[in-house]
């Protein structure tokens, strides 16, 4: 069963999550501040991290950023925070989180998000052996490293961003409907906050900084397509 790190400075919340998850067979570890979280992540291997933002010493955003070039490419991190403003959610995804839950949330929703993200991580490990690269108009996407190549430059994607780009590249130059992307990313458990737009925003910003173009085009009211200028 999956090994989960719960990073939460509110002991009552951490205990409530533990009481719900433990009977499901998950192996649970705990950190109550940012320093403890970083020590655990450096010393142990986890299948998923539940991460609060407002932590002593090091906040959740900085923890995500510190992992972005390494573990977050394949390690699902779900942010759990009372900070539900759009800017906070965008910042969470920009920092590298796979998912974002706004407190208070139901344990049923938490369970669904955990299962969805664990399944996505496992599917990625399985698919690597079957397909190594995606190509389109000079773009190369490496499924083993989650690295995006273009014009002798590269940028590191994390898993959700990779899944979006892979879906668009495989369909290019045709568009992919928003509903199809939701199905690819979350199955039947699409979050109410619709983080797809936040992930698209992050990818465009990342591509613009690395390559000078955004690559992902919005077809208003329908979906997205991949375009190389």
State pLDDT tens for residues 47-81.
999 999 999 999 999 998 888 656 656 789 999 99
Q: At 53, give phi and psi (nearest 5°).
A: -90, -55
For residue 210, pLDDT beyond 70: yes
Whether residue 63 contacts residue 38, with contact meaning beta carbons closer than 8 Å, is answered with: yes
pLDDT at 16: 96
**Distances, alpha carbon 52 to alpha carbons 115, 146, 168, 180, 190, in Å:** 19, 26, 31, 30, 21
Tokens of 211: 């390559």
Whether the bond between 173 and the residue before it is cis, its omega within 30 degrees of 0, is yes
SS3 sequence, 177-216? EHHHHHHHHHCCCCCCCCCHHHHHHHHHHHHHHHHCCCCE
DSSP state of 47: S
Comparing 12 with 131, the larger pLDDT belongs to: 12
Domains located in the chain, CATH noted: 3-125 (3.40.50.2300), 128-226 (1.10.10.10)
**29: helix, coil or strand?**
strand
Q: Give the HSE-up count for residue 89: Cα atoms under 13 Å, Cβ half-sphere.
A: 19
What does the alpha-carbon distance between residue 99 and residue 80 come to, in Å, rounded to a whole number? 9
Whether residue 176 contacts residue 164, with contact meaning beta carbons closer than 8 Å, is answered with: no
| Overall residue count recorded for the chain in this entry | 229
Place of tokens 């465009």: 204
Average of per-residue pLDDT across 182-191: 75
pLDDT at 129: 42
pLDDT at 195: 81
Sign of CA dihedral 63, 103, 26, 128: negative
Per-range mean pLDDT, top range of 28-42, 121-135, 156-170? 28-42
């Amino acid at each position: 069963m999956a090994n989960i790190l719960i990073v939460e400075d509110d002991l009552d919340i951490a205990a409530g999550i533990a009481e719900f998850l433990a009977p499901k067979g998950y192996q649970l570890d705990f950190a109550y501040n940012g320093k403890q979280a970083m020590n655990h992540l450096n010393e142990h291997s986890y299948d998923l991290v539940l991460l609060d933002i407002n932590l002593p010493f090091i906040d959740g955003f900085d923890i995500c950023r510190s992992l972005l070039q390494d573990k977050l490419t394949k390690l699902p991190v779900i942010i759990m925070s009372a900070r539900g403003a759009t800017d906070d959610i965008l910042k969470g995804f920009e920092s590298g989180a796979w998912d974002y839950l706004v407190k208070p949330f139901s344990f049923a929703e938490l369970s669904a998000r955990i299962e969805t993200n664990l399944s996505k991580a496992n599917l990625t490990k399985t698919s690597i052996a079957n397909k190594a690269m995606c190509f389109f108009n000079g773009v190369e996407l490496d499924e083993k490293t989650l690295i995006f190549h273009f014009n002798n430059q590269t940028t590191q994607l994390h898993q959700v961003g990779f899944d979006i780009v892979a879906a668009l590249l495989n369909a290019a130059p045709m568009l992919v409907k928003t509903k199809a992307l939701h199905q690819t990313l979350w199955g039947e458990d699409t979050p109410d906050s619709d983080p797809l737009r936040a992930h698209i925003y992050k990818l465009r910003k990342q591509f613009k900084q690395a390559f000078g173009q955004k690559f992902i085009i919005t077809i208003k009211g329908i979906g997205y397509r991949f375009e190389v200028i």
